[in-house]
Amino acid sequence: MASSVLELRALLERRFPDAVPVTYRSAGAVATGVAALDEVLPGGGFPRGRLAWWVPGGGATAVLRAACEAVVARGERAAWVDGAGVMGGEGWRPGPLLLRPAGGREALECAEELLRCGGFALVVVSGEEVGDGEGVRLSRAVREGGGAGVVLAGGVGMAPLRLVSRIPPNGYRWRRGPFGEPAEVEAAVVRVGVRALGVSAETEIVVPVVGHELRLCLEPGVVDRRGAGV
């Protein structure tokens, strides 16, 4: 376990030799690039040197992935620690650093190292439940590193900024078929609630839905009979 953290530290030194801690007292918040969300977040984004806790309920992963890509587009660095090993694939665009440790404990240790190193403006941790003890360690690490950290997990986290997202039952927008029936989801409306000291706000974000699977027939569930004999 300790060796994996040492390997991660060596990898960071080789890949980002010019990484220096961010002076978050003089730097602004880490904007997500999603205008509707930045408008309700304190300071216009995730606060540097602080840990945010996002309770998933629909759309959280898509919004945070967009935030990581926006950070990289601005010339800063972003990382995602996937404790469940479900991120990646064709939907993951190059830019943000993606780490998929072997286990949950290793994921939390990797996240702590990334937050403390100071070379990343935004670090997202997902796929692992974070207890009070781990939350305290992550809060100390992000304060030392000066970036912004987001824990994507259920429960009530020990963080000064909390977010909750959900997709209402009528929040899906459908693409119509040739006969006017709903055929495919093209977008979803995500409601995000933001809670912090002196802040209680809610906003709506429209998230496009894109399928990456190869379609082999005209309609889902219909057998592909191309090439079959008559």
Strands 199-208 and 182-196: antiparallel
pLDDT at 14: 65
CATH 3.30.750.24 fits 2-162, yes or no: no
C-alpha torsion 78→22→106→46, nearest 10: -60
Residue-range domain boundaries for the chain: 2-162
What are the C-alpha distances in Å from 191 to residues 41, 167, 169, 175? 14, 6, 11, 21
pLDDT string in tens for the chain (230-residue length): 455 666 766 676 666 655 544 444 456 789 999 999 999 998 899 999 999 999 988 889 989 999 999 999 999 999 999 987 777 666 677 889 999 888 778 888 999 999 998 889 999 998 877 877 888 899 999 999 999 999 998 776 667 899 999 998 888 888 888 887 777 888 889 999 999 888 899 999 988 877 645 555 555 555 555 555 55
Of 87, 159, 75, 150, the closest CA to residue 114 belongs to 150
